[in-house]
Amino acid sequence: MSTQTTAPDSTGQTRIAQRRTYLMCRPEYFTVSYTINPWMEPANPTDTELAVRQWQALYDTYISLGHEVHLIDPIEGLPDMVYTANGGFIIDGVAYGAKFRYAERQPEGPAFMEWFAANGFTVADPEAVNEGEGDFLLAGDVILAGTGFRSTDDSHRELERVFGKDVVSLTLTDPRFYHLDTALSVLDPVQGENGVERANIAYLPGAFDEASRRLLEERFPDAIHVSDDDGAVFGLNSSSDGYNVIISPRAKGFERQLRERGYNPVMVDLSELLLGGGGIKCCTLELRR
């Protein structure tokens, strides 16, 4: 169901906000007690109350924009459970579960799969290591799939079998951007030729190897190229409903680029959760029925 429409931008495209359904997890047990990505420094103090307040601002933003948000209960001892995007990948009511690379996060996989099953989704148990929508992004008729740090190439082939969609593998090379959703954002679908649905995206070219950059340039010639400065503040770890794009307030260049393309940037600061290596998209798993 559309909720907002804008006038056509300079390219003739009209941005339409679509009502989305998300899964989130309150960061009641958030802390940084181990290191599994370059952003995590256990020696630096974290403020759980601040993390909860910032997370609440994101939740309230989704509700105010007309989206539906479901919650999974946090589990003590699993501080990264707040990053629900890593918990699975869902299309048409089928939930492909996560199988985490690091032992610290592995108990999250079954917890998310139990939630999916209890809430009416068909669960596809994973065989290959993957970290859900952190590395898998639906872009029109294709799935963009990241590898290089967390999810394996085998998971890409498994993803193709589960959903029967074309999977485009992209290799990440910068450890700061260890999940695809930290280096690439899907902004909205576009109806292309012969009824094939494409997508508008934004990405950080320097996060990918040369072959992946070529693929992205061929498939998405009109993509927004984001600067390293904006990438480094998790500007691309954003959430879009097709018109409203929830981004970090520190991503000033990306904000301008979005406005030029007819999107409505909405600023939400998740600076405390960035200490764990996650931002807006990390805290947001889309539930597609």
> Three-class SS string for 9-54?
CCCCCCCEEECCEEEECCCCCCCCCCCCCCCCCCCCCCCHHHHHHH
Active site (annotated) includes residue 25: no
Q: What are the beta bridge partners of residue 4?
A: 17
Q: Which of 25, 67, 156, 282 is catalytic?
A: 282
- Edge-first strand listing for the sheet containing 184-191: 184-191, 197-203, 224-225
How would you classify the pairing of strands 16-18 and 2-5?
A: antiparallel
Q: Are 239 and 17 in contact (CB under 8 A)?
A: no
Active site (annotated) includes residue 67: no
Q: What is the DSSP letter of 261?
A: T
Determine the Cα–Cα distance for residues 263 and 9; give it in Å rounded to an integer: 9
How would you classify the pairing of strands 122-124 and 94-97?
A: parallel
Q: Which of 25, 67, 156, 179 is catalytic?
A: 179
Q: Give the catalytic positions in this structure.
A: 179, 282
